[in-house]
Amino acid sequence: MTAPFPTTPPPAPRAVLRDLLALAGLDGGLADTAELTGSEPVLPSSFAVGTLAQVTIAATALAADALWRLRGGAEQEVAVDMQHAACEFRSERLFRVDGKAPQRLWDPIAGVYRTGDGRWVRLHTNFPHHRDGILALLDCAYERAAVQQALDGWQAADFEDAVAERGLVATLMRSPGEWLDSPQGAALARQPLLSIERIGESAAEPPLAAPRPLGGLRVLDLTRIIAGPVAGRALAAHGAEVMRIAGPHLPFIEPLVIDSGRGKLSAHLDLRQANGREGLARLLREADVFIQGYRPGAVAGHGFGPVEAAALRPGVVYVSLNAYGYDGPWAARRGFDSLVQTASGINYAEAEAAGAEGPRELPCQALDHASGYLMALGAIAALVRRAREGGSWHVRVSLARSGRWLQSLGRIAGGHDCPEPGERYLESLMETQDSGFGRLSAIRHAAEMSQTPARFARPSVPLGSHPAAWPDRNA
């Protein structure tokens, strides 16, 4: 087995932040300029989810500030509170529309089940085609009891393999040791948390002066669920013009659209059609950042892989997200935060720490949110490089590698005894504005910047609310 994950207390957030900034090619000393308040634990978990939240949000803000200074911006203070950051990692479950909580995020048969060999598996059935595929594989009714009865006849590993062969999404629960010993766990150990690779040549593009760190920069956001949309939202919070592109035929989960749509334009393009591909190419030629988080190969299959994007728009920063890493037998496998937690030993370790039977989830979709901020950090760091030396760049992040990073940060003894944040505290973090869904109250961004406060210049709107065209910069 490779070296086991540590069980020692987490390191100081500032040290983690310093290393992360250096990994992104930025000055690690920027970490010493940030005000980091709060300490673990801030949510009930044996893992350092508060540190993960604080550090990824702070790193993104410090990167934005570095670009701001390249644009002639004044020196400013950057501060992130750990508990606020951790609550932002729960943003999709805490917002309110017209005073009402979001609808249920999970499909009725999603979740954990025992198999015939006594192991546990987790199903992800939030998209209709994934749900219907699981039901067809199990040949059972759309009811939890029927699913359980069908799984009683399966071995967990066989079920996991059968699901993957059909392009569906479910995993068996592994211990941390089993994950480290697995072929994918071993492959993941060789991959960086964040990679920023030069993929093309172009002239340097020093950014013009602007009132906000990312002002005037255009971002195409081709993502779903949480991680990718959070990346686009983070860039919008620092002033980027972000346009979310959705296929009109694809399923989305409305609460996630509402929460992660803050600050964004939203347009429909069907990449199965020639006019949809032509429309995306037009947008790309005027974009600075292209973010994609669909299953491996899907966007590239329509002609918009990183090399093709760089040919269309020399100087583009192309950001990719996948589930299990970019090398190894699971590199092309579909996945989501909850499944990665189960497969990689996180659910096992949380249950063991809590003295519980069966998988126990993290108190938030921490891999999703952390990966989203890592994507945003990588995008901004690549924009800094483009400003100084030119080039087109490819940024890569994976949920499983983010999970491995969390596991590497150690453990919190008694972390499950941490109380949940109180309602009064949560109310103090809310900001309210009219949106395309009603009066929206949501967690404001946790990074505080003294000269360029993070904010969302546009309200959240239903998908496809805008034309697939960039607004006139002079309008």
Q: pLDDT > 90: what percent of the chain?
A: 96
- Domain residue ranges of the chain, discontinuous segments joined by +: 13-104+194-326+363-449, 111-187+328-354
Of 247, 222, 231, 225, the C-alpha closest to 127 is 225
For residue 295, the model assigns a pLDDT of 85
Answer positive or negative: Cα dihedral of 283, 307, 223, 235. Answer: negative
344: Cα separation from own chain's centroid? 17
**Fold assignment, 13-104+194-326+363-449:** Rossmann fold (3.40.50)
For residue 474, the model assigns a pLDDT of 67
- Report the SS3 class of residue 423: helix
For residue 4, the model assigns a pLDDT of 85
Q: Give dist(CA 337, CA 92) in Å, integer.
A: 14
Q: For residue 11, what are its two tokens?
A: 């390191």
Tens digit of each residue's pLDDT (9 = 90 or more) over 273-301 = 999 999 999 999 999 999 999 988 899 99
Could you say which architecture CATH assigns to the domain 111-187+328-354? 2-Layer Sandwich (3.30)
- Report the SS3 class of residue 189: helix
Tens digit of each residue's pLDDT (9 = 90 or more) over 213-225 = 999 999 999 999 9
Q: Please check whether residue 125 is in contact with residue 142, taking contact to mean a CB–CB distance below 8 angstroms.
A: no
Q: Give dist(CA 361, CA 235) in Å, integer.
A: 28
Residue 29: pLDDT band (50, 70, 90) is very high
Q: Please check whether residue 86 is in contact with residue 43, taking contact to mean a CB–CB distance below 8 angstroms.
A: yes
Provide the whole-model pTM: 0.98
pLDDT at 368 over 60: yes
Q: How many residues does the chain have?
A: 475
Average pLDDT over residues 49-62: 98
Tens digit of each residue's pLDDT (9 = 90 or more) over 229-259 = 999 999 999 999 999 999 999 989 999 999 9
pLDDT at 407 over 90: yes
Phi, psi dihedral angles at 201 (to 5 degrees)? -100, 140
Q: pLDDT > 70: what percent of the chain?
A: 99
Q: Please check whether residue 227 is in contact with residue 293, taking contact to mean a CB–CB distance below 8 angstroms.
A: yes
Q: For residue 12, what are its two tokens?
A: 């100081």
Q: Give dist(CA 304, CA 161) in Å, integer.
A: 30
Ordered DSSP codes for 369-393: HHHHHHHHHHHHHHHHHHHHH--EE
pLDDT at 420 over 90: yes
Residue 128: pLDDT band (50, 70, 90) is very high
For residue 2, the model assigns a pLDDT of 62
Q: Give dist(CA 76, CA 449) in Å, integer.
A: 7
Q: For residue 357, what are its two tokens?
A: 């039977």
